[in-house]
Structure 1
Amino acid sequence: MSGDNYYFGDSVTMNGGRGNTGMVKNQAPPAAESASPELEAAVRELVELVRELRAGVPSASARAIDDSLPDITADPAVPPQERHRALMAVAGIAATVGAVGQPVVEAVNRVLALLGS
């Protein structure tokens, strides 16, 4: 059985400085996950409500909202802890403005429920 080659993981082939093939990763990319349609709709609604809320808050709160919005997404590639941090930041700002922010707090809670948080 000599000559049988089995490759698991990375493989590098060097041929005396000529014909080098480089590193063969032998790894499949992770399967593309997609968010549920319900989550995508809830995130769209939340982002719309947050943009409306942003116009009525102090500039420091508006900057915090601006910093949080990129992480409020249905994209599975966003680290869950970053998404959760952004959602909680927005909910905190919304809670401080009273009744005007209540729809945002409710939308954040819907997104968190859909994420299983």
Structure 2
Amino acid sequence: MSGNGSQFQFGDNVTMHGGQGNVGIQHNHGPAADQALPPEIAALFAQLTAVVTELARDARLPAEDRQSLEETLPVLSNPAGQERRSWRNTLHLLTGLTRELGEAAAPALGLATQLLALISGH
């Protein structure tokens, strides 16, 4: 996936140079520490963090659900410091939880779904 002239890649990358000097498999589980997230993805994570933070404070929700929402915040608020697998796991957890929570969680569900589509390349 590329945007604004910068490129990033998730997943494994194999480089072969004939039968000698092969690099092997380069595992790409997320952006390198010195590689910034694409602006669109970073912005969506920031929006989702704000929405989930507010939702986790909603006293109308059961305490267990508020706690589950709070537990997603470390990944949401610092996606650049996390592996892609952590993003996906957290976003899948959020989509399931927010579907159960209904109308109050609709904005979080929309953002989480949008992010999953972006990082999955759809």
Which blocks of at least 5 consecutive residues in structure 1 are unaligned?
Answer: 1-29
Partner residue in 2 for 1:71 = 75
The letter for the 2-side match of 1:53 is: L
Count the aligned residue pairs.
87
Partners of 1:67 and 1:45 lie apart in 2 by 17
Stretches of 4+ aligned residues off by more than 4 angstroms: none
Partners of 2:64 and 2:49 lie apart in 1 by 18
The letter for the 2-side match of 1:37 is: P
Partner residue in 2 for 1:41 = 43
Which blocks of at least 5 consecutive residues in structure 2 are unaligned?
Answer: 1-31
> What is the SS of the residue equivalent to 2:82?
coil
User: What is the Cα deviation at residue 42 of structure 1?
Assistant: 0.5
Cα RMSD after superposing both structures: 1.9
Partner residue in 1 for 2:102 = 98
Q: TM-score, normalised by structure 1?
A: 0.65
Q: 1:58 to 1:41 in 2, by over 3 A?
A: same
Partners of 2:49 and 2:115 lie apart in 1 by 11
> What is the SS of the residue equivalent to 2:79?
coil
Give percent identity, aligned residues only.
21
Bigger shift: residues 103-112 or 55-64:
55-64
